[in-house]
Amino acid sequence: MAVRGMLLAGLLAVTGTMALGQDSAPTDDPFTWLEEIQSERALAWARAENERTLGELQADPRYQRFYDQALTILQARDRIPTVSFRPDGLYNFWQDADHVRGIVRRTTLASYRTENPQWETVLDVDALAREEGTSWVYQGMSCLPPEERRCLVFLSDGGRDANVAREFDLRERRFVDGGFALPDGKQSVVWEDADTLLVAREWGPGTMTQSGYPFVVRRLRRGQTLDQAVEVYRGAEGDVSVQPFVLRDSSGRAHATGGWRGLDFFNSEAVLFRPGGNVTLPIPRRAALQGIVDGRVLLTIDEAWEVNGQRFAPDSVLSYGLAEWTRDPLAARPSLVWAPGERQTLRGIATTNGRLIVTILDNVRGRAFAYDYAGGQWRSTELELPRNATIAVSAASDQTDQAMFTVTDYLTPQTLWLYDGASGALETLRTTAARFDASRHLVEQREAVSRDGTRIPYFLVRPRDMAMDGSTPTLLYGYGGFQVSQVPNYSGTMGRLWLEQGNAYVVANLRGGGEFGPEWHQSAQLANKQRSWDDYIAVAEDLIRRRITSPRRLGVVGGSQGGLLVGTAITQRPELFNAAIIQVPLFDMLRYHLIGAGASWIGEYGDPRIAEQRAWLESYSPYQRLTPGRTYPTPFILTSTADDRVHPAHGRKAAARLHAIGAPYYYYENIEGGHAAAANLRETARRLALEYTYASRRLVD
C-alpha cells in the first residue's frame, strides 16, 4: 500500500480507556496455516493452485496472444525514459528484453532532447544479480547533496519491502569498498553528512512496532558497526513507524534533522533532533514538511488548523520564514501559499532552485502552477499545459529552475514537458507512441448516486458506437482508500488487450480516496468504511441502469485495498457481477492486524481487538462473508509469496474458503515480486495475460 506519510493519534489514544483483548482473532478458522508464508505445506498448496489455474487459462488461445502483446508494450524501446535531475546529468532506470531486472543509466539534457539519446550505464542490476546469485529488485537510490556523487542503493531480494542499502559511487560506477552497507531489513535511511547516516531499522528485540516497522533511530558514522550506532530518538511499540528526515535547501545545506513519528497511518509527530533536547513541532498531526525554497519552509496540512488567529483549510500549502523557523520553530508563524477551491485538491508539490511547483486536481482533472516568493508575498502563474488531462511533476532540478511534467489521459499517450522557471518557457520533450487504436473510443465523466445520496463521479471509456443495450463487456476498477486518487492514465496494455476488443473500462472515484481532498477520504474511514463499498456498488448499479453493461458482462477489478473493495462487492452484491479480479488483497479483516504490516492500517479500518470496531469490521470482512449456498462470480485471486506488506495469506485463505464451500475460483501466486506481484517485465506480462484471458472468458464469451 502506498504510504502518504505513514504518520494519528493511535487507536489506544482515540478509544480512551477501552480495553484491548490479547488476541480477539477467530479461533475457528481452519486455514490459519496458510498464514505461514514460507511453510512447505502452504507453498505446496500454492504450487498446486498455480498448476490448475495456469493449465486452464494458458490453454486458452488468447493467452499467448495477450502475453506477446503485453510484453511487446512493456519492453518497447520507444517508451519515454523517465528521468531525474542530478548535477552530472539526467538519470533513468530502464528495463527491456535485454535488461529484465534493469539498469541505471545517465545522459545529458542536450542528448535527451534528441531522438536517440546516448546513455551511459551506471549500474546493471541483471549483472549484479547473476554475480551474486540473488534475485535483486532495484528499489531506488538516495544521493548526498549537493554533489550527489555518493549514493545509497536499495536492493530487495525478490521484491519484498525489506531491502539492503549499499554505498555507491556514481562517478566511478561501482560500490564503495568499505562503504556503508546495511543488511536486509525494513529500514529508513537518510544522509546526515558525508560520513553519517540516520537509520531506523531493527536493532534487536523490542525495536520494531506491532506493524513490523522500526521505531528507533540511531546515528551511524562511517566505520562503525551497527552495534556502535548511537540512539538519537525512540518512538513506541504501538506506533506505526519512525522515519528520520533531513530538511535541506536547494544548495544541499541541512537546516534541520529529525524524525516523523507515525502514531498511526495518517497522524504523526514531527520531532527535531537538537543537542539540547529533541523538540516536537507544534503542527497538526495530519501535516508534512515538504522542503525549502526561496528562504521559506513548506508545510502541507490535511486537516483544518487554527493558529495565531488564522484558520487554514484542510489540504492547504503553508510556509514559514526560514530564518524565523530555524531560530525558534515553536514560535514561527505560518502563512498561506495555496488553499483548495470547490472540488479541488492538492495533487503534489515540488521545488526547483527557486520555484515552488504545485499540481492540483480540479474535479479530477489536472492543473499546474509555478510560485515565486518575492517582496514578502507569493506570486503564482498557471502553466499552459493541456487541459482535461492528468498532470504530474516527474522531475525537478535543485541546480536550475527546470522541471518536467507528464501529461496524459485514458486515450492519449503520455507526453513529457520541460518547464524552465527562469524564462517561463514550456516545451514538449517526448511523446509515447500509441500502443492501441484509440480512435474508436471516447471518455465520459459521469456520476452515480450512492446509498446516502452522495454523488460519486466515475470515468467511462467506451466504444463510440456502443449499443446501449447492456451487451458491452465492462471492467470496473476502484480503490477507495488511504486518500489515494484515481486519475485518468494511459495504459497501453489495457487498451490493447481490452479496449481494442470493443470493450469498456470504468474507473470510480470513491469516497476513501483523495480525489476531492482529505475530507473525501475521511468521510469513508473507520466506522464509515462501508461508504466506500456503497459507492462502488452504486457505480455498478448506474452502469447497469444506463444499460452501458449488464451483470452478465460486468466485472470488477482492484488491488490491495482495491482487492478488499472487490471482495466486499462480490460478497455484498454478487448478483451484479460475472467476474472479479482480486489482486494482492486484504480479505480477512478480523485477523488483518496480525498478518503482514496489517497493524499499520488500523487508522484506516479500525482495530478488531476493540468490540465496537470489530463489529463494523465483521459486518463487511469478505473472508467471513463467503458462505455456502451463494453464487459468486468465479473470482480470480492473484497474490505474491514475496509480499511482506499485505501478505499472500489473505488471498490464499479466500481461495481455500471458496474451495471448502464448493464455489469455483482461480488462484495464482507469483513466487517473487513483493506487493507489486511482479519482479520483472516478463512476470508482469504473464499476470496481465492471465487477467485479460480470464476477463474475456467470463465477460466476452
Residues assigned a catalytic role:
560, 675
What cell does 271 get? 520531532
Of 62, 73, 68, which is closest to residue 434 (Cα–Cα)?
73
Within 13 Å, how many C-alpha atoms sit on residue 416's CB side? 18
DSSP assignment of 660-699, as one string?
Answer: HTT---EEEEESS-GGGT-SSHHHHHHHHHHHHHHHIIII
Of 611, 518, 591, which is closest to residue 601 (Cα–Cα)?
591
Q: Residue holding cell 519491502?
A: 161
H-state helical runs in 183-256: none
Helices H / strands E in the chain, number of each: 15, 39
What cell does 18 get? 477501552
Give the list of residues 6+ apart from residue 352 with CB closer than 8 angstroms, or none.
250, 293, 396, 397, 398, 400, 401, 402, 403, 421
Where is 53: in which H helix or E strand? helix 40-57
Q: Is 25 helix (H, G, I), strand (E, B) or coil?
A: coil
Q: For every residue of 351-410, which 3-state class applies, written as one string?
A: ECCCCEEEEEEECCCEEEEEEEEECCEEEEEECCCCCCCEEEEEEECCCCCEEEEEEECC
- Whether 700 contacts 682, CB under 8 Å: no
Q: How far apart are CA 634 and CA 622, in angstroms?
A: 14
Angle between helices 561-572 and 530-545 in degrees, nearest 10: 60
What cell does 537 get? 456498488
Cis bond before residue 608 (omega within 30° of 0): no
- Sheet arrangement for strand 554-559: 441-449, 455-463, 504-508, 474-477, 554-559, 579-583, 636-640, 666-670
Angle between helices 61-74 and 681-695 in degrees, nearest 10: 140
CA distances from 79 to 91, 96, 484 (A): 15, 10, 26
- 89 φ/ψ angles, rounded to the nearest 5 degrees: 140, -165
Determine how β-strand 344-351 pairs with β-strand 335-338. unpaired
DSSP letter (8 states) at residue 79: S
Q: How far apart are CA 405 and CA 415, in angstroms?
A: 8
Determine how β-strand 579-583 pairs with β-strand 554-559. parallel
